[in-house]
Amino acid sequence: MLAARVTFAQKSEIFAPKGKAIKGYDVVAFFKDAKPVEGADSLTYHYKDADWLFASRTNLEAFKASPEMYMPQYGGYCAYGTSEGHKAPTEAETFTIVDDKLYFNYNMKVKNNWSKKQQELIEKADTQWPLIKDKQ
């Protein structure tokens, strides 16, 4: 089952299972509410070949006005995995905001390891992302 998830995750620049960016979580809410909040299908904005869902009209409008401010780094794929040169799926609960940028990780164990060398791994991922973002 995991192999199928990883294979799917690699098909798009944005981590968007079933076409929903970040599994349908409201990316603005990570900044405003400091927690994962599920978006509503009725509050959807299509951007970068994915549907972004929002919990409120206010959050939808904030994203539309400045998507790059709220979009997760590395398209929402695992920050640790990106630092190693590959795309991996993520879980919403693993989010971290560093220097006003949103990051996700594969699971809580990976997030814990990523947190120990966060700045170093962000630098590596920043270098790797342009090389892998459009690859399958």
Question: Is residue 82 situated within a structural domain?
Answer: yes
Label residues 112-131 b or e (16+ Cβ within 10 Å = b): eebeeebeebbebbeebbee
Q: Kindly state whether residue 94 falls inside one of the protein's structural domains.
A: yes
**Domain span at 73:** 2-131
In a domain, 32, yes or no: yes
Q: Is residue 103 part of a domain?
A: yes
Tell me the pTM.
Answer: 0.91
Q: Report pLDDT digits (tens) over 1-21.
A: 333 344 444 568 999 999 999
Residue 42 lies in a domain: yes
Decide if 136 is inside a domain: no
Q: What is the pLDDT of residues 9-52, one digit of tens each?
A: 456 899 999 999 999 999 999 999 999 999 999 999 999 999 99
Does 56 reside within a domain?
yes
